[in-house]
Chains A and B, each alone.
Chain A
Amino acid sequence: MKKIISLTVNGVEHELAVEPRRSLLELLREDLGLTGTHKGCGIGDCGTCTVLVDGVATFSCLTLAIQVEGCSIETVESLAENGRLNELQQAFVDQGAIQCGFCTPGMLMTSTELLRRNPHPQEPEIRRAISGNLCRCTGYQKIVEAIKTVAGENDE
């Protein structure tokens, strides 16, 4: 039987009827049409489905929609400001940290959480922070460099 839940997604409140087994990922992609969040492995290994739940980077594939009742969700769609890529997104583009783009939404959300917690992380901390996000094409180096660019600017 479907249950009614309310939650905030990218600042907009929603009230939805969801099946108990519906994942947050399915809710975002299928009910709300927010397809920026990608579905990868579905078992918590790849991290591409990462969104922020009350500010905490979370696998949306391993989170039931029912569990985030009343929570505030941020997806990759929330990053751009006034139709322009934000600093982190632009850094990913400039550094060539996007290739096929499949891991990108997860990488962006995980590094957004990192940079909020610590605006100027050093390289080892950056590498640790994204160690749950798999990238199969850029080889991580460019992603690390993109995050470092923003971390460096935060320093100044």
Chain B
Amino acid sequence: MILPQFDVLVPETVNEACAMLAEHAEHGVRVLAGGTDLLVNLRRPIITQHVPRCDGCRTHPEGAVSSTIDCTMWESEPLMASGGSLRTLLRDQEKTSPEFLVSLHKLKELKNIRRSDDGGLRIGALTTLAEIQRSPEIRQDYTALAEGTDNLGSPLVRNRGTLGGNIVNARPAADAAVPTIGLGAMLTLHGKSGTRSVPAEGFPTAPGKTIIEPDELLTEIVYPLSPTYSGSAYYKLANRKALEISTVGVAVWVILEKPGGPVADVRVALGAVGPTPILAKSVPAVLIGKVPDKAAIAEAAEAAAGDCRPIDDHRGSAWYRVQMVEVLTGRLLKIAVERAGTTT
């Protein structure tokens, strides 16, 4: 058996889940939704024990995980960054492996897509990415989100993986989180002491880190009303069409005052070009009030490129990513404007 030892708690209600998270916060507890990230991450430390040890590279003392595999990868993993001997690694791992998983599979009330009172859309956090991908309503009114799920992982990942999981995992390249930010969604966090609603762009704070409290559960993702003359789009730039992590992901949402007319509001969200998915904050000032012609779109695309903070890695250089943000933002704005003009 490859997974570490843990006990699985199965709450029947959201409140019960929050109580379990609070009770076991000190012993190490993780939330299990689809499992496509969590169960992989829990196994990883055990698998890497078999990786040859480093013979002393820039970042690791002798005996750490081999540099020939991917030392930079481990720098982001606190578990492995400690370096040292296999024994140290094993000891650290025991400390960081959760004692409990809270599995949400019985919380069927978090698995739904429905209209909110103001005409927006509320998606339960346990709704799978495949369910989102196949929803005609989402593809029509929240196209960027549907397109975000189109090339996320693989069909099998989308069958299990959930929207809430993709957001809470807080990976910088998360293909469903980026359009969620672009579409101006609010996240509902339910905790022991009540419920709060936070904007999606303020939720992640660093790779894998968010503002969620230990006793809180993301229960719902609430997308605002999609106005009559609005359109959105997402593009994932990646080397393969499946089982790939984005080099750059761009989501745009445009609201026009009338077809072809001035821009009433615009949001551009960027993935894999910063420590979290980010909102390109300088775009609205450049585009709102203007007719979205070629020149205005080019200016907005340049503004988006100025907002991103990418790093160099094996998927692409920082320079390349900045160029791609500009190119893709321009293309997607054009597409979104066209969609805004034809929406009924």
Q: Write the residues of chain A forming the contact surface with B, with a CB cutoff of 8 angstroms.
A: 1, 3, 19-23, 26, 42-45, 47, 50, 56-59, 62-64, 66-67, 69, 110, 128-133
Contacts and interface: CB of A to CB of B under 8 A. Distances in A.
B166 to A, nearest CB: 14
A22 B101 CA distance: 13
Contacts of B241: 131
Q: Is the interface of A mostly helix, strand, loop or mixed?
A: loop
Contact of A64 (B2, B32, B159, B242): B32
Contacts of B155: 57, 110, 128-132
Nearest to A65: B8
Nearest to A127: B241
Given A21-B3, A57-B159, A58-B160, A131 B154 contact: yes
Contact of A132 (B8, B101, B103, B242): B242
B35 A67 contact: yes
B2 A132 contact: no
Contact of A21 (B6, B105, B153): B6
A132 B156 contact: yes
Interface in B130-156: 130, 153-156
A132 B160 contact: no
Interface string B1-20: 11111111010000000000
Contacts of A69: 10, 105
Given A20-B6, A21-B5, A67-B35, 8 more contacts: A3-B8, A44-B36, A56-B130, A59-B36, A62-B36, A62-B40, A66-B10, A66-B103
A129 B3 CA distance: 29
Contacts of B101: 20, 64
19 contacts: A20-B6, A20-B7, A23-B3, A26-B1, A43-B40, A44-B36, A44-B157, A47-B154, A50-B156, A58-B159, A59-B160, A64-B32, A64-B101, A67-B35, A67-B103, A69-B10, A110-B155, A128-B242, A131-B242
Contacts of A56: 130, 159
Contact of B43 (A43, A63, A67, A131): A43
Interface in B18-56: 32, 35-36, 39-40, 43
A62 B39 contact: yes
B265 to A, nearest CB: 34
B4 to A, nearest CB: 7
B242 to A, nearest CB: 4
